[in-house]
Amino acid sequence: MSFPKEFLWGAASAATQIEGAWNEDGKCPSIWDVAGNHIKNGDNTFVACDHYHRYKEDVALMKELGLKSYRFSINWCRIVPEQGKINEKGLMFYSNLVDELISSGIEPMITLYHWDLPLWMHKLGGWKNSAIIDEFLFYVEAVIDALSDRVKYWMTINEPQVFIMSAYVIGNFAPFKHAIFSYKKCLRNCLLAHGKAVKLIRQKAKTEPVIGLAMASTTYIPDSFDETGIKEAAQYSFESTVGEGSNSVYMDPIALGKASPSMAKKLSAEDLKIISEPIDFIGINVYQPSNPLINKKKYNAENLPKNSLGWVIDGRCLYWTIRHYYERYHLPIMVTENGMAGNDSVSTDGTVDDMIRVKFLDDFISEMEKAVDEGIPVIGYQHWSLMDNLEWCEGYDPRFGIIHIDYNTQKRTIKKSGWHYRDIIREKSE
Ligand code: NOJ
């Protein structure tokens, strides 16, 4: 048996993508609630999967699937609807969810920032304004105070490179800014918010916390598997333009206390000390390799399957991301996201035959197993996603779930892949 008994087999989601109830129980709007026609098909966050009202049914489904963990995020807007004000009703929702999970034998894992910036904070400048650091800590402290008696696993932020690059530079993510000259300021504020939050959680948590963050961690599959090929792949993964932007610019300061070349002038020694507050694991969100982005000639993606968003499906990227990350940072790894978008629908017999996802699970999990067998400490795997949901600006068309959602009726149907994942969990946990 390669997977340890305590391996955390689970699934992941994020508040904005599933909760709905966008203006209930005192919640303020977030930048995504007002994204308007930036979201395809006129879709919006308002109802989503109605998880806010159906969380008990959803936890019952998780139990049926045999999940041992569930990674979800807290919506900052439910907890702090106005600057300086804590909303007890928001905390109560998550407290009830945590109770439901624990009584079903499922380990809760919380992401503190999965992109739902309160509109009031955005109006103060969002990630461009260093005041966001204290505002974030105010929110984090309220959450830790309310939930850390029962919750042990914490992720400060999700995919910093996405919500900073896409949101403030490329401008294709809320709040849709082309503030290219603010990029380094946003990045610094985000890294400091992370480091200070880690310290705060460690100080205030009522049960010993296990702390990390979740990185959009695309890396490079070696072109050849000899020493030179592997070394070159690691270099592409962390030091090429793509690799630095997506991996080392964030992770080197956090895990090594070292600024990447492009940030060297922006981060002082004092900053680096704060940012490198020790963490317990690195979460990696893995979807596709960065090979097609870096060196198209050597990597032929033409014959590889693609998901419904056109992303290359190549299970080897999971093994290599785990290995590249571990060899550079020497910290335990949690796969905080891995999955694929499909066009799944319910057949006349009531089943959802997403055979491509069944194969995806087999391929990616066997690649992860290879890393575990080689002795790399991988502590969990959270499939993205528990259920179909709002894929940000792509709307509801791309279906990432192992549970199908009928958005007209809110009926949940466990897909073939969900049942298959249940069997994998059973087999690997024996
Ligand atoms: C990463 C993000 O964390 C998640 O919110 C998103 O839905 C998935 N990737 C798929 O794009």
The pLDDT tens digits of the residues spanning 17-32 come to: 999 999 999 999 999 9
Residue 243: pLDDT band by 50, 70, 90 thresholds? confident
The DSSP symbol for 36 reads G
For residues 318-338, one letter each, b for 16 or more C-beta atoms within 10 angstroms of the residue's C-beta and e for the rest, the string is bbbbbbbbbebbebbbbbbbb
The rounded Å distance from CA 391 to ligand 1 centre is: 7
The rounded Å distance from CA 13 to ligand 1 centre is: 9
Q: Write the single-letter amino acid at 84.
A: G
Dihedral class, residue 415 (left if φ above 0, else alpha if ψ from -120 to 50, else beta) = beta
Query: For residue 376, what are the CA distances in angstroms to 69, 329, 405, 411?
Result: 20, 12, 36, 40
Q: What is the pLDDT of residue 39?
A: 98
Q: How far is Cα 312 from Cα 360, in angstroms, rounded to an integer?
A: 11
Q: What is the pLDDT of residue 189?
A: 98
How far is Cα of residue 166 from the mean position of the Cα atoms in its chain? 15
For a mutational test of ligand 1's pocket, the pick from 30, 155, 159, i.e. the residue with the most ligand atoms closer than 8 A to its C-beta, is 159
The string of pLDDT tens digits covering residues 76-110 is: 999 999 999 999 999 999 999 999 999 999 999 99
Active-site choice (159, 244, 277, 391): 159
Percentage of the chain exceeding pLDDT 70:
100
Query: For residue 97, what are the CA distances in angstroms to 53, 92, 164?
Result: 11, 8, 29
The string of pLDDT tens digits covering residues 190-199 is: 999 999 999 9
Element (H, E) at 144: helix 131-147
Please compute the mean of the pLDDT values over residues 320-329 and round it to a whole number. 98
Q: What is the pLDDT of residue 27?
A: 98
67 in ligand 1 pocket by Cβ < 6 Å? no
CATH node for 8-429:
3.20.20.80
Residue 226: pLDDT band by 50, 70, 90 thresholds? very high
337 in ligand 1 pocket by Cβ < 6 Å? yes
Look up 337 and say whether it is catalytic. Answer: yes
Element (H, E) at 430: none
> Helical H runs in 69-128?
76-79, 88-103, 119-123
Please compute the mean of the pLDDT values over residues 242-251 and round it to a whole number. 90
Residue 1: pLDDT band by 50, 70, 90 thresholds? low
Q: What is the pLDDT of residue 180?
A: 87
The string of pLDDT tens digits covering residues 38-59 is: 999 999 999 999 999 999 999 9
Q: Look at the block and give the residue holding tokens 């690691």.
A: 234
Q: Look at the block and give the residue holding tokens 């009202």.
A: 53
Q: How far is Cα 6 from Cα 21, in angstroms, rounded to an integer?
A: 35
Identify the residue whose C-alpha is closest to ligand 1 atom 6. 391
The rounded Å distance from CA 185 to ligand 1 centre is: 24
Q: How far is Cα 218 from Cα 69, in angstroms, rounded to an integer?
A: 24
32 in ligand 1 pocket by Cβ < 6 Å? no
For a mutational test of ligand 1's pocket, the pick from 217, 335, 384, 391, i.e. the residue with the most ligand atoms closer than 8 A to its C-beta, is 384
For a mutational test of ligand 1's pocket, the pick from 246, 312, 391, 393, i.e. the residue with the most ligand atoms closer than 8 A to its C-beta, is 391
Residue 175 φ/ψ, nearest 5 degrees: -90, 25
158 in ligand 1 pocket by Cβ < 6 Å? yes
305: tokens are 């399957």
CA max distance for the chain: 62
- 3-state helix, strand, coil split of the chain in percent (to 5) is 45, 15, 40
Question: What is the value of pTM for the model shown?
Answer: 0.98
Domain boundaries, given as residue ranges, for the chain: 8-429
Dihedral angle over CA of 126, 49, 309, 320, nearest 10: 80
Q: Look at the block and give the residue holding tokens 């990029």.
A: 183
Q: What is the pLDDT of residue 295?
A: 79
Please compute the mean of the pLDDT values over residues 279-307 and round it to a whole number. 93
The rounded Å distance from CA 268 to ligand 1 centre is: 32
- Would the pLDDT of 179 be above 90? no
Better-scored residue on pLDDT, 241 or 119: 119
115 in ligand 1 pocket by Cβ < 6 Å? no
391 in ligand 1 pocket by Cβ < 6 Å? yes
50 three-class SS: coil
Q: Evaluate whether 100 touches 55 at the Cβ level (below 8 Å).
A: yes
Q: In the predicted model, what is the mean pLDDT of the chain?
A: 97
344 in ligand 1 pocket by Cβ < 6 Å? no
173 in ligand 1 pocket by Cβ < 6 Å? no
Active-site choice (100, 135, 337, 367): 337
Look up 159 and say whether it is catalytic. Answer: yes
107: tokens are 């380990």
